[in-house]
Amino acid sequence: MSVTPSTYPLVPKIQKDTILSLLEVGKRADGRGLEDIRKVKIIPNYIEKSDGSALVNIGDTVVLVGVKVEPGTPYPDLPDEGILMVNAEFVPLASPLFEPGPPDENAYELARIIDRSFRETKSIDLKELAVQPGQKVLVVWNDIYVLNHSGNLIDASAIATLVALARTKIPNYEMNEEGYLEKKEGYKGTLKLTKKVITATVAKIGKYYVADPTEEEEYVSDARLSVSFTEDGTIAGMQKMGAGSLEEGDIDAMVDLAWKVSQKYFSEISTAIGLPPQE
Amino acid sequence: MGKTGLKLIDENGIRIDGRKPDQLRPISMDVGVLKNAQGSALVSYGKTTVLAAVYGPREALPRHMTLPDRAILRVRYHMAPFSTTERKSPAPTRREVELSKVIRESLEASVFTELYPRTTIDIFIEVLQADGGTRTTSLTAASMALADAGIPMKDLIAGVAVGKVNGKLVLDINEAEDSGGEADMPVAMMPNLGKIVLLQLNGTLTRDEFKEAMKMSIKAIKEIYLIQKQTLRDKYAKMTEEEKEE
């Protein structure tokens, strides 16, 4: 059951008024312009024991993604494909609002937004993960770990997921005599990323649209729109969030801004890890 | 060809269930269908059938989850085990958790929650039969159940899903078109106010296709809105007649 949150900090009206009066003159509380993003820092291969990983900072928001590739059974309707599983954990050390326990609706929503963008664009080649089609395939477990919540968890998770998957090595599994996949020394190669996909979130506060919202801006926003893009500008997913509403014109403007922000993310990712440009 | 290699639309632009690309399925609606609930609605878009019930405003327990300045909304979107082709476990899935959240946020945009501080308004949605577009059918039904319960709202909410099959945009997709198509875009809005309360996209669309899909959904939502209003009017007309007879 989804319940109206009652634990969110009440943002005092005066604070909302301050945010709005700043927006009126094209400024934000942290000194940014409306379309600016915070400083992005990307550290690929942060966890040695994972098969792929990335630590991403957007301002004070910190997200760590670790990837593990392990044997599993294929879906009955897609017998000759491996599986990508995206999971998100909002661990309690990341925010006073996060509690230990099973993932809440926000964690599920975040994981499913990222999952859909990669799945629908067929961003990673799942066919090469079918060790024995119909029987044994490799499962790519992409675990998103939120380490500090200062707003815009979705974009940070999307960047970290893309970098981690782009840097994922496929362990060397071989079928043993009993018919089980056994992990051998070394790696068989890297995961094939056929398309890069990113998600950018825009918040609407009053009549203004802001890129990369902070936690405080998320609380005072009327609604947020997360838009996923591939590098050629195709829309690869969308999610409106928040208990407010948007008009058709708002959506057009927010998609435009999300695309601008996406290009910034793509360029940050390329410089950080030197990904070759898409063919 | 779609994902499954299935041909979902023929050379004359006719879909597998005989509809044109911009045609809705037959829609039926009824309100006040459950005796115990304050408000209820049964809505079908073709074979997709959803039952929604509203309890409240009522006391919320534990009380610390209530808000001092408005009512909270508690929403459960749930699929009956027999609603799908293969039995679905009644335990809530990740998908149902996410949909309950987006449906709650949509309804929160329409309800005057500030009229009922420290209470809860509970909205229970059961998908009895699933054939595509269950979340938008659910929103249409939930909004009518709220109206049936007499809860003040800014406007009714109506929803519809636009999809893309075999490279073509189609309105109000069914399950075959959803699973075999390239995109599923559920949209819900308060039609009279022109406010969009739910927007999701699962799949890929170009910018132009997206704009076209928005136009298609808004046009269809306005049609659904007329049926909603007529259904509510009919119910109250019937009530007035019954009163006269007594």
pLDDT average, residue stretch B173-191? 96
Round to whole Å and give the CA distance between A208 and A203: 8
Partners of B43 in the β-ladder: B29, B50
Q: Which two tokens stand for residue A180?
A: 């089980």
Q: Which chain B residues touch A238 with a CB distance below 8 Å?
A: 185, 199-201
**Looking at the predicted structure, is the pLDDT value of residue B30 above 70?**
yes
With CA atoms as reference, report the closest residue to B29 among B113, B139, B115, B116.
Answer: B139
Token pair of A65 as six digits:
């993604």
pLDDT band at B5 (very low <50, low <70, confident <90, very high): low
Residue B158 C-beta-side C-alpha neighbours within 13 Å: 22
Measured between CB atoms, does B201 come within 8 Å of chain A? yes
Tokens of A10: 């009440």
Q: Does B94 touch chain A (CB under 8 A)?
A: yes
Q: Does A147 touch chain B (CB under 8 A)?
A: no
Helix (H) or strand (E) holding B55: strand B48-59
CB proximity A47 to B under 8 Å: no
Give me the pLDDT at residue B33, please: 97
pLDDT tens for each residue of chain A, 279 residues long: 999 988 776 676 788 899 999 999 999 999 999 999 999 999 999 999 999 999 999 999 999 999 999 999 999 889 999 999 999 999 999 999 999 999 999 999 999 999 999 999 999 999 999 988 888 999 999 999 999 999 999 999 999 999 999 999 999 998 888 878 888 888 999 999 999 999 999 999 999 999 999 999 999 999 999 999 999 999 999 999 999 999 999 999 999 999 999 999 999 999 887 755 444
Q: Shortest CA distance to B144 belongs to which of B245, B20, B233, B242?
A: B233
What is the ipTM, given to two decimal places?
0.93
Per-residue confidence at B7, pLDDT binned at 50, 70, 90? confident
**CB neighbourhood size of A89 (10 A):** 16
pLDDT at position A275: 54
CB B132 within 8 A of CB A31: no
Looking only at the bridges linking them, the beta strands covering B158-165 and B183-190 are antiparallel
Give the pLDDT of residue B243.
78
The first and second tokens of residue B74, run together, are 């508690």
Mutate to test the interface with A, among B69, B85, B101 (most CBs of A within 10 A): B101
What pLDDT shows up at residue B223? 98
Q: Which chain A residues have a beta carbon less than 8 Å from that of B103?
A: 2
Handedness of CA A268, A274, A275, A277 (dihedral sign): positive
SS (H, E, C) B159-177: EEEEEEECCEEEECCCHHH
What domains are defined for chain A?
Answer: 25-273 (3.30.230.70)
Q: Which of A2, A239, A245 sits opposite B100 (nearest CB)?
A: A2
pLDDT at B242: 81
Give the C-alpha separation, B205 to A229, whole Å.
10
Asked if A248 and B199 come within 8 Å (Cβ–Cβ), the reply is: no
Q: What is the pLDDT of residue A14?
A: 81
Percent with pLDDT over 90 in chain B: 88
SS3 for B184?
strand
CA dist B131 and B129 (Å) reads: 7
Whether chain B has a CB inside 8 Å of the CB on A86: the answer is no
Work out the minimum CA distance from B64 to partner chain A, whole angstroms: 8
pLDDT tens readout for residues B46-57: 999 999 999 999
Q: Does B206 touch chain A (CB under 8 A)?
A: yes
User: Residue B77 is encoded by which pair of tokens?
Assistant: 């979107």
Q: What pLDDT is recorded for position B2? A: 45
> Is residue B4's pLDDT more than 70?
no
Q: Residue B198 is which amino acid?
A: L
- Residue A246 near chain B (CB below 8 Å): yes
Contact between A1 and B195 using a beta-carbon 8 Å cutoff: no
- Closest Cα to residue B64, out of A7, A97, A173, A265? A7
Residue of A nearest to B125 (CA): A1
| Contact status of B53 with chain A (Cβ, < 8 Å) | no
Domain B27-245 carries which CATH code?
A: 3.30.230.70
The verdict on pTM exceeding 0.80 is: yes
Question: Which tokens sit at A50?
Answer: 């994972």
Looking at residue A39, its pLDDT comes to: 97
Contact of B118 with chain A, judged by CB distance below 8 Å, is answered with no
Written as one string, the DSSP assignment of chain A is: -EE--SSSPPPPHHHHHHHHHHHHTT--TTS--TT----EEEEES--TTSSEEEEEEETTEEEEEEEEEEEEPPPTTSTT--EEEEEEEE-GGG-TT--SSS--HHHHHHHHHHHHHHHHTT-B--GGGEEETTTEEEEEEEEEEEEE-SS-HHHHHHHHHHHHHHTPEEEEEEE-TTS-EEEEEEEEEE--B-S-EEEEEEEEETTEEEES--HHHHHH-SEEEEEEEETT--EEEEEEESSS-B-HHHHHHHHHHHHHHHHHHHHHHHHHH-PPPP-
Structure tokens at A254: 């927010």
Q: What angle do CA A179, A182, A188 make, to 5 degrees?
A: 120
Contact call for B101 and A2, based on CB within 8 A: yes
* Token pair of A237 as six digits: 């997913």
* Residue from A4, A99, A257 to probe the interface with B (highest B Cβ count within 10 Å): A4
Chain B residues within an 8 Å CB radius of A234: 204-206
Tell me what pLDDT residue B241 has.
Answer: 81
- Residue A47 burial (CB count, 10 A): 17
Given A109, A237, A240, which is nearest B98 (Cβ)?
A109
| B74 interfaces chain A, CB cutoff of 8 Å | yes
Q: Which amino acid is at B82?
A: F
Q: Beta strand pairing status for A169-175 and A181-190?
A: antiparallel
Domain parsing of chain B, residue ranges: 27-245
Q: Which residues pair with A208 in a beta bridge?
A: A205
In a mutational test of the B interface, the residue from A245, A248, A256, A259 whose CB has the highest number of chain B CBs within 10 Å is A245
